[in-house]
Amino acid sequence: MQATRYVGQRRKPDICPFNDQEFAVSRPPSQSRLLVLVSGTGTILQALLDACADPGFGAQVVAVGADRDGTGGAARAAAAGVPTFVRRVQDSPDRFAWDKALTADCAAFDPDLIIAAGFLKLVGTEFLGRFGGRMLNTHPALLPSFPGIHSVRDALEHGVKMTGCSLILVDPGIDSGPIVAQAAVPVLDDDDEESLHERIKVAERSLVVAAVGRMVREGWSVDGRRVRIGN
Catalytic residues: 139
Residues 200-229 that bind ligand GRF (CB under 6 A): 201, 204
Q: How far is the CB of 92 from ligand GRF (least distance, A)?
A: 22
Question: Which residues, listed in sequence order, are joined to residue 138 by a DSSP beta bridge?
Answer: 167
Task: Show the site string, 104-123: x = touches ligand GRF by CB under 6 A, - = not.
Answer: -------------xx-----
Residues 6+ apart with CB under 8 A from 216: 8, 32, 34, 57, 58, 59, 112, 113
Q: Find the binder of ligand GRF among 27, 76, 121, 139 (CB under 6 A).
A: 139
From 83-91, 124-132, 133-141, 180-188, span contacting ligand GRF (CB under 6 A): 133-141
Name the residue nearer to ligand GRF (CB basis): 8 or 73. Answer: 73
Q: Does 124 bind ligand GRF (CB under 6 A)?
A: no
Distance CA 187, CA 195 (A): 10
Cα gap 162→142, rounded to integer Å: 9
Site size for ligand GRF (CB under 6 A)? 13
* 76 part of the interface to ligand GRF, by CB under 6 A: no
121: Cβ contacts below 8 Å, ≥ 6 apart: 39, 67, 89
Q: Which is nearer to ligand GRF, 33 or 201 (CB)?
A: 201
Min dist CB 94 to ligand GRF, Å, is 24
The site string for ligand GRF over 26-65 (x = CB under 6 A, - otherwise) reads --------------xxxxxx--------------------
> Cβ closer to ligand GRF: 25 or 45?
45
Name which of 51 and 117 has its Cβ closer to ligand GRF.
Answer: 117
Q: Does 138 bind ligand GRF (CB under 6 A)?
A: yes
- Residues ≥6 apart with Cβ < 8 Å to 179: 143, 166, 167, 168, 225, 227
Identify the helix (H) or strand (E) that includes residue 108.
none
Query: What residues contact residue 143 under an 8 Å CB cut-off, 6+ apart?
Result: 166, 168, 175, 176, 179, 182
Residue of 211, 203, 157, 212 lying closest to 184 (CA atoms):
203
CB 201 → ligand GRF: shortest distance, Å? 5
| Cβ proximity of 134 and 114 under 8 Å | yes
First to last CA, the chain: 18
| Residues lying near ligand GRF in the complex (CB under 6 A) | 40-45, 117-118, 138-140, 201, 204
